[in-house]
């Protein structure tokens, strides 16, 4: 991993982890502003507690060493959460100002995911097998 790539990875991952952790804690604590936003979007206050729990776990999964499969699940969860937040704001007729933050976090998620080191990946892409080679490997 090049130094520039590593710096970009940790910068995007750090921003993502801080945002997730702080949002997760406010959801768990049922902060009044957090509950107000959820109500505006049509969600119950308890939904913030559920999301908060998973956000804190997702942030933790991204920074702890090892467990590449857990990191993949965390990235997927963050992607689903943030795209859902963006769509929820659009569906409620919110201005672009409310839609931009979750879209930025989708971008951070994708950049962090794509820049992660080999040790943080479930599999490493390699030369693909031809269908004949794949069939032959299956006979063994």
Per-residue pLDDT tens over the stretch 68-78: 899 999 999 99
Across residues 88-109, what is the average pLDDT? 96
Residue 62 lies in a domain: yes
Q: Pick from 8, 51, 7, 44: which is nearest to 27 by CA? A: 51
Residue 10: give the domain boundaries.
Answer: 3-123
Per-residue pLDDT tens over the stretch 37-80: 999 999 999 999 999 999 999 999 999 988 889 999 999 999 99
Q: What is the pTM of this model?
A: 0.81
Residue 134 lies in a domain: no
On the question of pLDDT at 133 being above 90, the answer is no
Residue 69 lies in a domain: yes
Tell me how many degrees the CA angle 74-79-83 measures, rounded to the nearest 5.
150
Residue 140 lies in a domain: no
Residue 37 lies in a domain: yes
| Confidence band of 127 (pLDDT split at 50, 70, 90) | low
Q: Pick from 76, 105, 117, 121: which is nearest to 15 by CA? A: 105
- What is the pLDDT at residue 89? 97
On the question of pLDDT at 29 being above 70, the answer is yes
Q: CA gyration radius for the chain? A: 19
Q: What is the count of structural domains for the chain?
A: 1
On the question of pLDDT at 124 being above 70, the answer is no
Which residue in this structure is represented by tokens 């006979």?
Answer: 139
């Amino acid at each position: 991993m090049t130094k520039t790539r590593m710096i970009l990875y940790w910068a995007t991952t750090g921003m993502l982890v801080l945002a997730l952790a702080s949002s997760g804690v406010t959801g768990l604590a049922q902060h009044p502003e957090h509950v107000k936003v959820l109500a505006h979007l049509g969600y119950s206050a308890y939904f913030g507690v559920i999301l908060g729990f998973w956000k804190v776990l997702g942030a933790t999964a991204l920074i702890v060493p090892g467990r590449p499969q857990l990191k993949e699940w965390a990235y997927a969860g963050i992607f689903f959460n943030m795209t859902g937040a963006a769509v929820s704001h659009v569906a409620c007729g919110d201005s672009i100002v409310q839609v931009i933050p979750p879209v930025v976090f989708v971008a951070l998620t994708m950049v962090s995911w794509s820049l992660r080191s080999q040790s943080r990946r479930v599999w490493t892409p390699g030369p693909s097998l031809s269908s004949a080679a794949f069939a032959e490997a299956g006979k063994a």
